[in-house]
Structure 1
């Protein structure tokens, strides 16, 4: 999956482990591992061992996110809960190293993965789930065009702590409008010379979903 600033490719420990470990080590602490069931990793050997054990199956199907400018892996995301019978799939195990956080790459890679799910695979439902305490992840889901569906209480225990899980989704009938919102935001015309955005993606996706549901800005049909 190739975009303007990044590409998303099946993960390969031989090619990606060292780059990802180095990128992750750029963080001053391990806070971005808080809501993942693994990590942080103290050594490259530890990280590589985890990748060899966890990242080479078919579900979850792990991908590395590559910065086109440097050719280096700077993040990870996966498809999981893959159910072709009902055409439903989830995106998860998202881990953006510091060089990728709050960057154009972080948004474009999510667009590329959505486009494959809906445009190439013809799936009906795309899911995003996160720890209900992870406010940043919940905001990201809404920004990306997902709709909140509810919270499953005490769904699991992660790193010895209770996890309530918030569920979000995008449906195939919503995708064409959400896709247009992404394309408008990702266009070079949406960015000023200093790199600042002219339109926010959250505004574009919210407007797209309102229009798709037939609701006006005042909430009335």
Structure 2
């Protein structure tokens, strides 16, 4: 399923459509940006294509390409994962964006589109965000987007040769009902001036 927004759309990740575009977008990415990802950075185009082929074939995590709504170019990836349909729980993860997404509404709209899909269309009760406890930008993003911090699971994961303490955040269905209008007001084009700067901050939580 493709999720359509004003500024971007999320479409199922496909190596033929997205791998080369994404590799080019990531060429200038600071290797440090990959520190908290389970994979990368990728220095070879073919290695990245192989990863995209594997990710696109997965159903859990289910990967999406973040596509610019104007240019049609792929700018990043995101996934829905740990899909617990019996209990109505799903997690967002594997978020990686091109630098061109920074300081644009796209990163916020990605989360709005996923939340709307997860809660309104799939009928889930709980939406989770987890990150390395050391990943301060991810923790700030979760708080800004209205997620509630629930605690830190110590020594929860080993990746890239080191132990990770995992910070857990969540949003539940009744919180989404309160937050949805705040996202829609913030994403309204009237909230941005001619330079693309926001006039009002995101009011959720």
CA offsets 1:78-123 (integer angstroms, 9 cap, x no match): 0000011000000000001111123211111111011000110110
Matches of 1:53 and 1:2, distance apart in 2: 24
- Residues 110-149 of structure 1 aligned to structure 2 (within 5 Å): 110-149=111-150
Q: Give 2:52's aligned residue.
A: 51
Q: Give 2:10's aligned residue.
A: 8
Q: Is the 8 A contact 2:21 2:73 kept in 1?
A: yes
Deviation at 1:54, TM superposition (A): 3.3
Deviation at 1:188, TM superposition (A): 1.2
- Residues 1-221 of structure 1 aligned to structure 2 (within 5 Å): 1-27=3-29, 29-201=30-202, 204-205=203-204, 209=205
Q: CA RMSD for the aligned pairs? A: 1.0
Matches of 1:182 and 1:88, distance apart in 2: 21
Q: Is the 8 A contact 2:12 2:56 kept in 1?
A: no
Q: Is the 8 A contact 2:90 2:128 kept in 1?
A: yes
Which blocks of at least 5 consecutive residues in structure 1 are unaligned?
210-221
Aligned positions, number? 203
Which blocks of at least 5 consecutive residues in structure 2 are unaligned?
none
Deviation at 1:157, TM superposition (A): 1.3
Matches of 1:193 and 1:66, distance apart in 2: 22
Deviation at 1:10, TM superposition (A): 0.6
Q: Return the TM-score normalized by structure 1.
A: 0.89
Q: Which has the larger radius of gyration?
A: 1
Q: Return the TM-score normalized by structure 2.
A: 0.96
Q: Is the 8 A contact 2:65 2:78 kept in 1?
A: yes
